[in-house]
Amino acid sequence: RNRLNASREIAPVTPPNCRLIKGIETGSEDIDILPNGLAFISSGLKYPGLKSLAPDKPGEIFLMDLNEDNPRAVELRISRGFDLASFNPHGISTYIDRDDTVYLFVVNHPHQKSTVELFKFVEDDNSLVHLKTIRHDLLTSVNDIVAMGPESFYATNDHYFFDFILMFLEMFLGLTWSNVVYYSPKEVKEVAAGFYSANGINISPDRKYIYVADILDHNVHVLEKHANWNLTHVKTLQLDTLIDNLSIDTHTGDIWIGCHPNGMKMFYDDPENLPGSEVLRIQNILSEEPAVTRVYADNGSVLQGSSVASVYEGKLLIGTVFHRALYCEL
């Protein structure tokens, strides 16, 4: 119950200009925004133990142009030859190559497995061209990913097991068997371990530090990145909420976090007791006294199960595991 914050209730905090995004009805688990304001949104996650509002519908990737006055979500077409029927997207990350090619990495769970799908984004016709499927014995229960190059990334495994019963047992026993893996075509290795459930992962704007959210330990780990891709622990910031995905404001270095104020409500599908949403902003995480601000909080009446919050020039997108998505002007 402590791990899930089972007794926590939150007071509402609502920015003045927020609206639900039309067309996103079955989740917006992760969001990544390019420097030019194009936002990718993964939707339709089916995850063991959590409800889905469209269990038989394949997942989707949406795009929003945040430069528009009234941005809307457009579903991206995915090239032929990719198994769309089993598409079950989770964490996502973008990488812009030297020739301005945009690569989209998508954690996928087809048939209860974990893969990473690599796509090329074609802006002219709002499509994704599937380049390759990455599988590896160390990528067992992948949750989130941060791209390091056109084919390399760090990934979090949120559990040691992927079977739901064993996963629950792992959580119940408090086993710290979750980890971070570095992947490239030349080398794959574990680079950090000892987490209860490593979830969101991202990188500082100067690319010196990797941030990892441990959702069941209610904290953010700061890890230093070395030339050989290994990570070493710098500090841990403890919070009082279940931390999901991490987004970075590339201008300020602030970390924006989608959180679950009460994790028990996520697992118990009770219409009288909906899972709430919470967004935190962390400023100066490397300092002695990082500033933590609650930017958004809701009891589930508007937005259920927030998992990510991303900003671009005064605009905030808040995504959820299985519910809707919110667009706010700060």
Q: What pLDDT band is residue 66 in, cutting at 50, 70 and 90?
A: very high
Q: Report the catalytic residues.
A: 90
- Mean pLDDT score, 195-201: 97
Residue 163 pLDDT more than 80?
A: no
Distance CA 177, CA 169 (A): 12
When divided into structural domains, the chain yields a total of 1
**Please, are residues 162 and 112 in contact by the beta-carbon 8 Å criterion?**
yes
Q: Cα(186)–Cα(115) distance, rounded to whole angstroms?
A: 18
CATH number, residue 234: 2.120.10.30
pLDDT of 1-56, one tens digit each? Answer: 888 899 999 999 999 899 999 999 999 999 999 999 999 999 999 998 888 999 99
Between 218 and 166, the more confident residue is 218
Domain containing 119: what range?
A: 2-329
Please list the alpha-helical segments (H only) found in the chain: 164-172, 263-267
Query: In whole angstroms, what is the distance from residue 220 CA to residue 101 CA?
Result: 31
What is the pTM assigned to this prediction? 0.97
Dihedral of alpha carbons 226, 232, 234, 235, sign: positive
Judged by DSSP in three states, 196 sits in coil
pLDDT tens by residue, 231-287: 999 999 999 999 999 999 999 999 999 999 999 999 888 999 999 999 999 999 999
Residues making up the annotated binding site for Ca(2+) are: 29-30, 92, 143-144, 199, 244-245
Q: Does residue 167 surpass a pLDDT of 80?
A: no
User: Which residues belong to the annotated binding site?
Assistant: 29-30, 92, 143-144, 199, 244-245
Given this model, what pLDDT does residue 49 score? 83
